[in-house]
Amino acid sequence: MKRFERIVEWCRSRFAMATPADADEIAAGRWPHASDRILVTFDDGWESNFEAARWLAGIGVSAIFFVVPSLIGRDADEYVRFHGQNHVIPSLPLGSPGARGLSPAQLREMRAMGHRIGAHNFAHRDLGFLHALPELRYEIDNALECLGEILGTPCHDFAIAFGMPHNLSDEAIEHLKVLQARGMRVYSCHRGLNVPGKTPSFLLRHACEPFHPMNFTRICIEGGGDRRLGSEVRLMLGRVGALPIADRGPLAAQGVLS
């Protein structure tokens, strides 16, 4: 938690902080701001996210929390047993021993704090290995519908587990593109600024892990790692198409930290 606080405070001292609504704007091809912004996002939905959500709300920062819905209210063993009943072998998100997923009440409270709750793969399986429509619906549609039922409002944000181009089969991309055409926003997880007309329509994010040295994280946020993953960005761009351009505003880019 202390390392996370240091990263956010460092970002706040150098950049304007984005809101989930800014992600909506960039996904629609609009960028009304004159400079880049940083949006904080989380993946998986372990209960420890609640402490981060409360701290962020206290300093006036809104984030997106992408939650594995089948992890809600369960520990690792309960999560695996749940999917076993459906004859599915899940991938367990990394977490501390004995950790539990966020509870429905915590998710609703986090939303009341000003954060957004998005969906992550239902069983956290790699979509690069899934091709059949029933399996894709299990991972994607189930996640969106389950969160919508818990929160009482439709879920329009989905983050791909593992987040790289090879973590998406062609069939998974087609399925996500259909949902995207209906208004859903899709998020990947390889670094770069999001620029209308130039970068992939599946929004780019930078993976920030607790074990990364602080200096490395700072360099990546400032763009020092963009060239290393440039080939992945170009691959994703070729597979999913570019962000639209809705108007000719400033078209400044948005940086997203997860």
Percent of the chain with pLDDT over 70: 95
The structure's pTM equals 0.93
Q: What is the rounded average pLDDT of the residues 84-110? A: 95
Residue 10 has pLDDT above 50, yes or no: yes
- Point out which residues pair with 233 in neighbouring strands: none
Select from 29, 117, 34 the least CA-distant residue to 71.
Answer: 117
Query: Would you say residue 12 has pLDDT above 60?
Result: yes
Q: Residue 229 — pLDDT band, cuts 50, 70, 90?
A: confident
Q: Encoding tokens for residue 51?
A: 């402490």
CA angle 207-213-218, nearest 5°?
65
Q: At what angle do helices 104-112 and 49-58 cross, to 10 degrees?
A: 20
Q: How many CA atoms does the CB half-sphere of 184 hold within 13 Å? A: 26
Q: Look at the chain and report how many structural domains it folds into.
A: 1
Quote the domain boundaries for residue 141.
2-257
Other Cβ atoms less than 10 A from the Cβ of 193: the count is 19
* CATH value at residue 207: 3.20.20.370
What tokens does 220 get? 């990546």
Q: Tokens 């962000």 belong to which residue? A: 243
Residue type for 1, please? M
Give the torsion sign (CA, 190, 191, 194, 198): negative
Give the pLDDT mean for 18-22.
96
Beta bridge partners of 212: none
